[in-house]
Amino acid sequence: GIASAIASVVETIASAVMQITGMILKAAGVVSAVIAGLAIAAVKKAADVQVAYQELGRIASLAGQDVMKLRDAIIAVGTATPGTGSIKDLFELASFGARMGIGEGLEGSLKVKAIEAFTKSIARVRMALTDMPTEEAATYIVRILRVFGLGPEYIDNFASALVKLDNSSTATGRDILDLTRRLSGVLSTLGAMPSEVMGLAAAMRDAGVEVEVGGTAMSQLFIKTAYKTKDYAKALKIPFQELEHAINTKPIEALKMVLQAIGKFSPVDQLRVLSKMQLQGRQTSSVILQMANNWQMIDTFMAEGAEEWKSQNSLIEAANVRARQFYSILEQSTNKLTALAAKVGDMLMPAAIAL
């Protein structure tokens, strides 16, 4: 992380400064070389930033004052919140957003604001979600939101629900995103919300369902329940009208009704009823039986996801934790540099007196 990088840099600086100090005592000419080196490094850093924001302007199809506004906005993101990454990293993140179509169809200041908001949101995601590359997570999130007809302004809502479920379940953020992606096509069509699908995904992984087969099996169950509602209601002894109403209004509630009903049968009868429902494939039946015995977890994780979608507390807290870690390491690094300065002063004092 950036904080660890700071600590490493401080250690390197400390070592280098001690060596340079010794050389200064031997040859004053080294001072000018050091200053020249620092100047060159500063120029190179400025050039890197210049190239990064000009590339961003090209990708985002912005020019003139709009590029300058976006540049200043991205720099403000990096300076306002510690731990979001280097300015160059943020420009590259903004460029990634522009390549994904963020701000597409907008012009001028509206496009600038859209790309700025995306960069700020994904920078927070990077601080909170550490088990997968930032661009991969951003791609998942934006594409899933689009399936539900939602724009990038919902990234913070989505990410906060994801962080909460990542923390409260045995599922990783990557697992939840992958399984949510696989379930979203069917469930968005039936009217489910993203936080509900994420809650279902977390419950499935928490029950031990594999991502690759889980999405296919559960999507198949949803589709067949919607098309064979009367047959399934009869086989599972569920009132037909209740199941039909749930499918039309609350699809995941319908899923829970089906799973709960399957779970009430004896193990042998569970296999028989799945055969009647034409869900007897080995992988499909295994997933359904796993969830039939753990359907209560769906309620738990759906409630957590829905709450975080609204409050965004988990994303905020994760960012605060990273900021505290950043400041803690920065404080330690500052103290090391202060101690170093004292040592350098002790070494240089005799030479200064001699002058």
Assess contact for 154 and 104: CB atoms under 8 A. no
Q: What pLDDT score does 9 carry?
A: 53
Q: Which residue type is seen at 322?
A: R
Average pLDDT, integer, range 137-156: 93
Q: What is the pTM of this model?
A: 0.75
Whether residue 157 has pLDDT greater than 80: yes
d(CA 89, CA 84): 9
**Percentage of residues of the chain with pLDDT beyond 90:** 41
For tokens 């850093």, what's the residue? 45
d(CA 264, CA 322): 46
User: What is the DSSP code string of 103-117?
Assistant: TTT--HHHHHHHHHH
Q: What pLDDT score does 139 carry?
A: 92
For tokens 């799945």, what's the residue? 274
288-320 pLDDT, tens digit each: 999 998 889 999 999 999 999 999 898 878 766
Closest to 319 measured CA to CA, from 187, 159, 144, 177: 159
User: What is the DSSP code string of 284-326?
Assistant: HHHHHHHHHTSTHHHHHHHHHHHHHHHH-HHHHHHHHHHHHHH
Q: Is the dihedral of CA 335, 336, 342, 344 positive or negative?
A: negative
234-247 pLDDT, tens digit each: 999 999 999 999 99
Q: What pLDDT score does 346 carry?
A: 59
d(CA 106, CA 151): 13
pLDDT band at 77 (very low <50, low <70, confident <90, very high): confident
Closest to 81 measured CA to CA, from 352, 315, 350: 315
3-state helix, strand, coil in the chain (%, to 5): 85, 0, 15
Whether residue 47 has pLDDT greater than 50: yes
